Structure 1
């Protein structure tokens, strides 16, 4: 949810998790004043009374999400392997640029046709980092064992289905590991989370098609990117040049 209004004192039934996107704001939380500004991560516990507003008449915009308690409890079980109670937060304001960037990207992904694997992986990273580092009660995550077979299964599946909008649920069903655990296992063994590995596969295939003088818009469709701008962004990040530049370089080499 994208918000920019001040609010009266109120409570939420669920956690409120988000970032300040623009401006400065203050929170009256547990009868204490807390200040947040651009890039601050905000976490409000369920049932805690709070109010917020902009400072110095400066416009303030923030993005919030409200995951259900049932969803978080399910995530806790998968992360820890036991029915651990959802921990709370004493401090509602967290300064963590990497975490803020992940929350912002997750919101952006929800505004466009989502790549399920990437969005789900980012949500897992957000919850792991947030509750693992900043909750009052530290979480004991499942230990990672030798799941080489599961990693091989995931790689084979992604290589065969790189154009599909693959979800963590699908990979979980294939490997019989929880989405959280398989993401950690895959990242440890491969060096990338599943969604980033899938993007690499798509870029490799895009290079082949561009070398064959395919139209860039058609390459985006054939390699599983939502649209051409997604291909451009990921291709430039990985290869250091745009698809158009790569296509021209390939043509010059062939000539």
Structure 2
């Protein structure tokens, strides 16, 4: 039996107000409560959702971040799915695996661990972060811009210990969002044509999903030529730069001679 977990003092990037620069602060991270795990964050990436919330929301001070990979440092009471040392990805939309949505094949917006908007944990509506006894609020129940964080066990997924954590952190949101959009939402069919506007993480993942579903033509639209070139590796076989055309790109009829790489 391991000894009970204690408060950890570590560094975190804290947002003190909307649009204000993040400040590296020493924060206290409480032990995981029942049904929670505490994670040592190894790598985290930046999502547009973090930026949008940082610019506009009014819950501060706050630790943002939700795309992360790390190692379980300790587990709370009742947690059987994880143990200390497990490698995990964080999930900002958790799954309790028991509610009507989790057991349905129509939705994954868990009724228990759905999107958190109030800066507190799902279970007891309190925070696990503090600075000198004052609460620091969470973001989407993850808050990965910290060396350690606490999440509900349903907001994490176990991964192979051989997977490079510094690379797979992006799978927890951006890549999964794009792949799911292509595979589940659009339900791309074999032989179809797919147009993707924006070739960032999500867009490239949409391209991968479309390719896996058998799309015959995957058109990538972006004003950055470097992204257009990189997109070839993700399944895009036609690249269009809106700056190259006088007409709005969505009205462009598309001629074979203008295809950047053919079909």
Task: Point out which structure has higher relative CO (alpha carbons under 8 A, 6+ apart).
Answer: 2
Question: Higher strand share goes to which structure?
Answer: 2
Taking structure 2 as the reference length, the TM-score comes to 0.31
Taking structure 1 as the reference length, the TM-score comes to 0.32
Question: Higher helix share goes to which structure?
Answer: 1
